[in-house]
Structures are given as structure tokens and as C-alpha cells.
Amino acid sequence: MNELWRLSATELAALIRTRRVSATEVAQAALARLEAVNPALNAVVEHRPEQVLAQAAGVDAALARGEALGPLAGVPVTTKVNVDQQGFATTNGLRAQQDWVAQHNSPVVDNLVRGGAVLLGRTNTPAFSYRWFTSNLLHGRTLNPRDPRLTPGGSSGGAGAAVAAGIGALAHGTDIAGSVRYPAYACGVHGLRPSLGRIPAYNASSPERGIGPQLMAASGPLARSVADLRLALQVMSAADARDPWWVPAPLQGPEVPKRVALCLCPDGLATCSEGVAALLDAARRLRDAGWQVEEVDQLPPLREAVELQKRLWIGDGYAAQWAAAQREGDPGALAALAGQRALAERLDANSLPVTLTRRATLVREWHLFFERYPVLLLPVSAELPFENDLDLQGEAAYARVWEAQMTQIGLPLMGLPGLTVTTGLVGRTPVGVQLTAARFREDLCLAAGEAIEAGGVPAMPVDPVSA
């Protein structure tokens, strides 16, 4: 029973549903694992064991009464500190928000609760969720369980580190520029950024989001198996009237040809040799599973999408963001914003409507591309996971980081789904690939992802290693 934390969400849900193990036993094992490894990682920054055990006891009692429970009944899941969970502060890694205690759950947390999940703890994020590195002045630094010299990714770095180390079977994350996909890549697990409108979002504790986050930010799951991502997506995507962007799209779309476009160096991205090797290996795995894979050199605009995305994410309301970062004094947040000052200073009153108008054109071009190739296989990053705080090591290093993350930044502008599939290790450094498809075709990403996963993944969960 002490090893229950090793099991997938799908396995745990089946065991609990058939009463071969109790939700309480699973919760006890999850808490024991958290206590054993979290001090070395700082992935979970707040948890309340008595509440965890009370949730699990409620699941066991409902099962004893013969009640039908949700698909995640009794499964331990972590939530990120930038979404509302009743009774917990929605800190977003900020000292300024440590007293923003949520009075209600966000829609995605409500959906997890209705799905039967046991909420295990709150995971760390960089200040303001700005970076692909996870540290802040309130909660401290999160380490990568596979190699503490490497970033665990960001902004859902705590989520990635937790699920890789067996702290919960599933982790909730958010993604506006790779914040689910990159931690999955860096920690050697899988991560799904769903389409715009798939998973409802709203934080009552916080001011209304700007237009950029409304159009591009998404909650999504991180897990150790693609099957678990599919299960989590089913639960997390239930309707909620609080999100005006939510769309009642089916989770399974119409059949399409099993055709994949492979792009090794999109828009001239200098993909590292290890990344190219991972992509070619993933293409081979797909062909072995019956997919037709065609290498392409040209994609719809992606570099331009990056520039438009940054205008909406960072440029709109830049002065207020800069003032808030100065008050917080977080070095990572200040560096992230300072590096985009030139872009922000080029904005004028016409920039927002021009950007939104051009966005519509790019969305159209990408969806026409997916008419020919239902799935696209491309790099997660141009580089293997970065060393910690690379973006703080001067202007050249900062520019290098942002260039490497081009695919992660660009795809959200069009509201597209993205799936990171971990495929192996280079020494002890994870490597993986990214899949994308048209809006609301997460099912195609997941199907292709399972074919890639079947060819082998790094061992997980892992015990934290020392430098």
C-alpha cells in the first residue's frame, strides 16, 4: 500500500472504484510520498493533510453508500497557486497576493472536485507566472527531480516536478506561452495545453484578465501517461457559466486521415541535434503505428505569431505590469519584463486592434494547414532543458531563452492545443516532442501521443537526485 503513489490516475481510479483499495489508503500513500520528497524539491508550497484525508474519507463513504462518483474519484491531484481553491491564497508566486484567500473554487478546480479528485496540495510558480524557471520571493525555488541543476520549467514548474516525483498522479497547470508544455518537457513527463475555450477559467479573487490572457491562457493537465491526460481532460473541461469563452465542443472529433506533418526547424528555429533526433524517432514510432508522416519545411507564420502573442501577453498593460513587478522586487519577473521593453515602447493606440485583426488571418492560415495535415509534429524547444536561471545571465542569454521557446509562445496566439510527449533522456536530461492540431482536436494530439509513448518513455516517477 505504501507504493500506491507510483500508480497512474487511471489505475488508481479503477482500484478505488472497485474497492480493491480505499481512497484513504491512496491519500495516505500520497501524503507520505509528499513528505518524503517535497523537502528536496519544494514543488508543493502548501498542503493540509487533514483536509486531504477528509476528502478521501468522503469518497470512501460515498462508495460505501453505493453512490456513483466521478472518473477521478479518490485520485490525488495537485493544483497550481495561480488558480482559486477555496480557503487557499491565490498567490501566483507573489508576496503581494499572499492574503488573497479564495472564497470560491475556480471552474477548473470545481470540475476536479466534481470529478472526485482529492486535492493534494498547491504547486509553485514563478512570480506572476512570467518565466520558464520556477522561483519567487514568497515560496522559494522549485528543483527538477531529474537533475537539480536544470530548470523544472515554468510557469507550472511545481506541477511538473510534483508529478515527475510521484507527488500526486495528476497535476493542474496553466499555459499561455508553454507553461504546461515546458515543465512537462523539462521534468520528463507529458503535458497538455488544451484549445481556447476547452477548459473553463475564472478567478473571482483577482481582477478580470486582460484580452491577451483571455484569448491565450489555458489550464491543462500534466501526467505520467497519455491515458491520464485524456482522463483529466474529460473531467477538467466540464461546462461552467463563469467563463464566456467556454465552448461545448465534443472531446472526440470526426475521423480524419492519420497524416502528420513533421517540421524539424519551424520558421528557421535552430533545433538542437538531440531535439532533431527525438523528432525523427517520434516520426518513426508514428509510422510504425500506421500514421503517414511527411516532412515539411514551410508552416503558416510562427515567428510573426510570437511577436503578436507578446504584444497581447506582455505589451498590453505593460506599464501596470512593470509597476507591479517593481513593487514585488522579484529579479526574474523584472528581467522578463525588461527584456520586452522595446516591444512595449513600440505600442500605440492602434496596436491592439491591428494585432487582433492580424490574429484572425493567422488563425485562418493555420486551420487551412490542418485541413491537409491533421497533426503537426514539431519541437517543444530548440534546446534541451535550460540550466537554472539562464534567463538572468545577461541580455544574450535572455534572448537565447526566448528564441528557443518560439513554438511554445507562438501556438497559443491561435488558440491551438499543444501536447508535450516525453520520449527519452540525454544522460539524465529529458527530451521530448510537441504535437499540435486544429482547435478542439486534442483527441488527435492524444492519439498520436499514445503512438509515440508506446515506443518508450523515461522511467517515472523518479526519486529526486542530488547535483
Structure confidence at residue 2 (pLDDT): 79
Identify whether 116 is part of a domain. Answer: yes
CB 186 within 8 A of CB 287: no
Identify whether 458 is part of a domain. Answer: no
Known catalytic membership, residue 206: no
Identify whether 466 is part of a domain. Answer: no
Separation between Cα atoms, residue 142 and residue 163, nearest integer Å: 13
Known catalytic membership, residue 179: yes
Confidence of residue 350 (pLDDT cuts 50, 70, 90): confident
C-alpha cell, 197: 475555450
Q: Indicate which residue of 8, 129, 135, 155 is catalytic.
A: 155
Report strand pairing: 76-80 vs 429-437. unpaired
Identify whether 107 is part of a domain. Answer: yes
Is the Cα torsion angle 351, 356, 360, 366 positive or negative in sign? positive
Q: Residue 463: count other Cβ atoms within 10 Å of its Cβ.
A: 11
Structure confidence at residue 312 (pLDDT): 93
Separation between Cα atoms, residue 31 and residue 48, nearest integer Å: 10
Q: Indicate which residue of 179, 205, 219, 237 is catalytic.
A: 179
Q: What is the pLDDT of residues 296-348, one digit of tens each?
A: 999 999 999 999 999 999 998 999 999 999 999 999 999 999 999 998 888 77
Q: What is the CATH number of the domain that holds 145?
A: 3.90.1300.10
Check pLDDT > 80 for residue 24. yes
Mean pLDDT for 183-190 is 98
CB 220 within 8 A of CB 175: yes
Identify whether 34 is part of a domain. Answer: yes
Identify whether 461 is part of a domain. Answer: no
* Count of domains observed in the chain: 1
Q: What is the pLDDT of residues 377-432, one digit of tens each?
A: 999 999 999 999 999 999 999 999 999 999 999 999 999 999 999 999 999 999 99
Q: Indicate which residue of 8, 80, 237, 310 is catalytic.
A: 80
Separation between Cα atoms, residue 87 and residue 101, nearest integer Å: 6
Q: Name the residue range of residue 107's domain.
A: 4-453
Burial 445-461 (b: 16+ CB within 10 A, else e): bbbbbbbbbebebbebb
Q: Residue 114: count other Cβ atoms within 10 Å of its Cβ.
A: 14
Identify whether 460 is part of a domain. Answer: no
Regarding pTM above 0.95, the answer is yes
Residue closest to 187 by CA, chosen among 162, 168, 170, 221: 162
In the block, cell 514585488 appears at 328
Structure confidence at residue 467 (pLDDT): 74
Structure confidence at residue 90 (pLDDT): 98
Confidence of residue 116 (pLDDT cuts 50, 70, 90): very high
Identify whether 169 is part of a domain. Answer: yes
Q: Residue 39: count other Cβ atoms within 10 Å of its Cβ.
A: 9
Mean pLDDT for 130-153 is 98
